[in-house]
Amino acid sequence: MSKETQDRPNASAVPSSASAPPSGEKADAEAKAVADEKPAADEKPAADEKPAADEKPADGKPAAATPAQEKSAEEAKPAAAAKPAPSAGTKPAAAAAARPAPAKKAPPPPDPRVEAAKAVAEQIRDVIAASLGQEAVEEVGAAHHTPMVRVRRESWVETVDLLKRHDDWKLNYLELMAGTDYPNYIEVVVYIQSTALGHFVCLKTRTPRENAEIPSLVSVHPGVNWEEREIYDLLGVTFTGHPDLRRIMMWDGFEGHPLRKDYNVWAAKEDTDGTD
Amino acid sequence: MALTDQQQPIRTEEMLLNVGPQHPSTHGVFRLVVKISGETVLDAEPVIGYLHRGTEKLAEDLQYNQIIPYTDRLDYLASMLNNYALCHTVEEALGLEVPERAEYLRVIVMELQRIASHLLFIGTYLLDLGAMSPFLYVFQERERIVQLFNEICGARLTYNYVRVGGVKYDAPPGWLDKVRAFIPFMYERIQMYDDLITGNEIFLRRVRGIGVFDTETALAFGMSGINLRSTGFRWDLRKNRPYSIYDRFEFDVPVGEHGDCYDRYYLHLLEMKQSLRIVEQALDGIPDGPTLGKVPKIIRVPAGEYYSGIEGARGELGFYIVSDGKDKPYRLKIRKPSFVNLQLLPDLLRGRNMADLIAILGAVDIVLGEVDA
């Protein structure tokens, strides 16, 4: 276990492995295991800033946000690099004891790409709120580097349709639809691309696990027909208004929804025993 | 209901015909329930799932590196691309930097893989249309690629070669020269196929103007890859959302004009040439160095959601990972191009002649391992 935690920071430090940060990061990791995505974020901005900008050419925000973030990241780095010269990789415990405060302070520099994504998500929130009301949007954030907006399921179809037709967004090319079973709800997510404007956005909605039901998107994006059937089949979400909601992967007589976390393979086997 | 065959005023009867699940033209276990009247297709309903192995469910109990062999078995004609697609998403999530040499080796094997896959498409497509020998021809070139893969990773079909953070093995001595020798040979063969097939009157009659759809339909149905590009819409993730080191290479994205089966066939030929161009440039630029970056023994993806897609041989191949910070994905969803592309099939078949069914189905270019996952 301890070995793994030691391995990890090294891996995230690959980009600039020659510099000193490892020990600082090690302290970091020991202080808080969750924080270990931050060191990676530190080293990103310079190298990978371009793709993020490419993805959203239409709005000025990301470009504006980046330099500021970059500077703060750069300020943080020399501070970390200056200190832990002598016992670089050998004694992480000492390093951790020596400067627990800076290690705690280091995490804040957020990834500029995440910040840019959040800014875009907020713009989308405003667009949705303007025509469907404030209460339509439940959460705004970023799914990794992609803007993410979660809407309530009553507004699901209207939202997707609105963003498809909206002149500033034109999200016309739905690339991915996926469902995930969480302990208290099932979440359906779509990743939609605007082929004209270059936006790439993640939209979500949730349904309770019992009587899971979400309005179907087939009327807006006919291409989700089979994806919705698959989610119905494997996760047990009923898509209301779907033209042809049947099982697609499993056979018609199959019981249960295999991708649900509480699906028990062995229980199902005993029930159908040999009938397959 | 008494119906009249469109071509001839003969009274016909509606009937259901099962194509598959075991049928040579379905490229695997795919069933198509066709409602026909005489020779005319009234309706068609694809039935899939015969090859469903629950890859997404299995992946929830596997560590990230253990999932790679399962991806080999999705689209088994383009395993390298599947390997890469998964590793790419995990690398994005971890923010891993991949050594230069590894990136170049990946691009070389991926583009060779694309060529191998497209070759097989041409072979099987012509086989479907009744031309036996092309199928045997394409296996000669494909064999050379498969041999090259065998030398670099020890497998001919399920490679498990691309790993998170790099590739498993460096190229053996002389391997890169063999790849270089393959390029002029392949250019020559592509020219030969162009001469033999493209001008063939019988072939043209069977594919020109058949299975036509426009860009709008293709986008609405989420189609990708050659199916989308055949409508004249330039959309290639290698250009539109560059990943790996594709932004360093010069290559074109050929597009079709009419969105018919002929365009889809011909784009396969053109894309092979572009792949060769990329391989050529990659061979020139490949540096020395390590082939696997510094990767932890046990990969833990930070909690969150990640999606990234690559330009697979059949369209956008993507992996969506939901992680709760453990060493195994909480949920893994595969964006399967064949699965999405296949949806339009009933619309394309409706009202067409029975003989066109095979031509249309073949041109969609599906691999059932991927459709069913």
Going by pLDDT thresholds of 50, 70 and 90, the confidence category of residue A220 is very high
Q: B91, B221, B307: best mutation site toward chain A, by most A Cβ within 10 Å?
A: B307
Is the pLDDT higher at A16 or at B74?
B74
Instruction: Kindly list the residues from chain A whose CB atom is less than 8 angstroms away from the CB atom of residue B97.
Output: 14-15, 47
The pair of structure tokens assigned to B72 is 């080999």
Average pLDDT over residues B280-309: 90
Calculate ∠ Cα B17-B22-B26, nearest 5°: 80
- Confidence check: pLDDT of B17 > 50: yes
CB B330 within 8 A of CB B207: no
Smallest Cβ–Cβ distance between B220 and the set A7, A43, A223 belongs to: A223
Range of the domain at A219: 114-272
**Structure confidence at residue B316 (pLDDT):** 92
Name residues whose C-beta falls within 8 Å of residue A95's C-beta, 6 or more positions apart in sequence.
A23, A24, A26, A27, A84, A87
In the DSSP assignment, the letter for residue B25 is G
CA A158 to chain centre: 23
Residues A158 and A85 in one domain: no
Residues A88 and A124 in one domain: no
Residues A74 and A100 in one domain: yes
**CA gap A120, A57 in Å, rounded:** 11
Which residue does chain A place closest to B319, by CA atoms?
A176
Give the residue carrying structure tokens 């909605």. A205
**CA gap B373, B195 in Å, rounded:** 37
- Confidence check: pLDDT of B341 > 60: yes
Choose among B227, B221, B218: nearest CA to B263.
B227
Going by pLDDT thresholds of 50, 70 and 90, the confidence category of residue B229 is very high
**CA gap B226, B363 in Å, rounded:** 10
- The CA-atom distances, in angstroms, between B343 and each of A103, A181, B334, B351 are 52, 25, 16, 17
Q: Do B94 and A172 touch (CB under 8 A)?
A: no
Average pLDDT over residues A187-195: 93
Instruction: Kindly list the residues from chain A whose CB atom is less than 8 angstroms away from the CB atom of residue B325.
Output: 34
**Structure confidence at residue A108 (pLDDT):** 61
Instruction: Kindly list the residues from chain A whose CB atom is less than 8 angstroms away from the CB atom of residue B320.
Output: 176, 178, 189, 191
Domain boundary residue, one of A45, A79, A106: A106
Residues A25 and A52 in one domain: yes
Residues A205 and A79 in one domain: no
Q: How many domains does chain A have?
A: 2
Domain ranges of chain B: 2-47, 55-372
CB B46 within 8 A of CB B342: yes
Q: Do A195 and B219 touch (CB under 8 A)?
A: yes
Residue type, B343: Q
Residues A182 and A250 in one domain: yes
Going by pLDDT thresholds of 50, 70 and 90, the confidence category of residue B174 is very high
**CA gap B130, B116 in Å, rounded:** 21
Residues A72 and A189 in one domain: no
Q: Do A223 and B92 touch (CB under 8 A)?
A: no
- Confidence check: pLDDT of A30 > 70: no
Going by pLDDT thresholds of 50, 70 and 90, the confidence category of residue B10 is low
Instruction: Kindly list the residues from chain B whose CB atom is less than 8 angstroms away from the CB atom of residue A199.
Output: none
**What percent of chain A clears pLDDT 70, i.e. is strictly above it?**
57
Domain boundary residue, one of A45, A71, A106: A106
**Structure confidence at residue B351 (pLDDT):** 87
- Confidence check: pLDDT of B75 > 60: yes
Q: Do A225 and B343 touch (CB under 8 A)?
A: yes
- Confidence check: pLDDT of B346 > 80: yes
Interface A:B, Cβ pairs < 8 A = 130
Residues A142 and A261 in one domain: yes
**Structure confidence at residue B1 (pLDDT):** 43
Going by pLDDT thresholds of 50, 70 and 90, the confidence category of residue A18 is very low
**CA gap A13, A11 in Å, rounded:** 5
Q: What is the pLDDT of residues B192-228, one digit of tens each?
A: 999 989 988 989 988 988 889 999 999 999 999 999 9
**Structure confidence at residue A251 (pLDDT):** 87
Q: Which of A21-35, B111-125, B273-287 is predicted least confidently? A: A21-35
Average pLDDT over residues A113-133: 88
**Structure confidence at residue A59 (pLDDT):** 42
**Structure confidence at residue B4 (pLDDT):** 53
Smallest Cβ–Cβ distance between B96 and the set A11, A146, A180 belongs to: A11
Q: What is the pLDDT of residues A101-122, one digit of tens each?
A: 444 556 667 788 888 888 888 8
Residues A174 and A222 in one domain: yes
Q: Do A178 and B320 touch (CB under 8 A)?
A: yes
**Structure confidence at residue B269 (pLDDT):** 93
Q: What is the pLDDT of residues A45-82, one digit of tens each?
A: 444 444 443 444 444 344 444 444 444 444 444 444 44
Instruction: Kindly list the residues from chain B whose CB atom is less than 8 angstroms away from the CB atom of residue A174.
Output: 222
**CA gap A186, A236 in Å, rounded:** 9
Going by pLDDT thresholds of 50, 70 and 90, the confidence category of residue B371 is confident
Average pLDDT over residues A238-244: 91
In the DSSP assignment, the letter for residue B353 is B
Residue type, B134: P
**Structure confidence at residue A2 (pLDDT):** 41
CB B170 within 8 A of CB B291: yes
Q: Which of A121-135, B18-32, B179-193, B291-305 is predicted least confidently? A: B18-32
**What percent of chain A clears pLDDT 90, i.e. is strictly above it?**
29
Residues A147 and A56 in one domain: no
Neighbour tally for A90: CB within 10 Å? 10
- Confidence check: pLDDT of B19 > 70: yes
Q: What is the dihedral of CA B285, B286, B290, B296, to 10 degrees?
A: 80
Mean pLDDT, all residues of chain A: 70
Residues A173 and A259 in one domain: yes
Domain boundary residue, one of A53, A88, A106: A106
- Confidence check: pLDDT of B178 > 70: yes
Residues A118 and A87 in one domain: no
**CA gap A102, A21 in Å, rounded:** 12
Going by pLDDT thresholds of 50, 70 and 90, the confidence category of residue B28 is confident
Calculate ∠ Cα A35-A37-A41, nearest 5°: 120
**Structure confidence at residue A113 (pLDDT):** 86
Going by pLDDT thresholds of 50, 70 and 90, the confidence category of residue B353 is confident
Choose among A172, A157, A169: nearest CA to A197.
A169
**Structure confidence at residue B231 (pLDDT):** 92
Q: What is the pLDDT of residues B261-277, one digit of tens each?
A: 999 999 999 999 999 99
What is the DSSP annotation of B244-298? Answer: TTGGGS-------SS-SHHHHHHHHHHHHHHHHHHHHHHHHHPPPS-SB----SS
Give the residue carrying structure tokens 């500021």. A68
Q: Do B57 and A259 touch (CB under 8 A)?
A: yes
Provide ipTM, 2 decimals.
Answer: 0.89
- Assigned CATH for B55-372: 1.10.645.10
Instruction: Kindly list the residues from chain A whose CB atom is less than 8 angstroms away from the CB atom of residue B96.
Output: 11-12, 14
Q: Do B340 and A54 touch (CB under 8 A)?
A: no
Find the DSSP H helices in chain B: 55-59, 64-72, 79-94, 100-128, 133-153, 175-193, 201-207, 215-220, 226-229, 237-240, 261-285, 337-341, 345-349, 354-364, 368-372
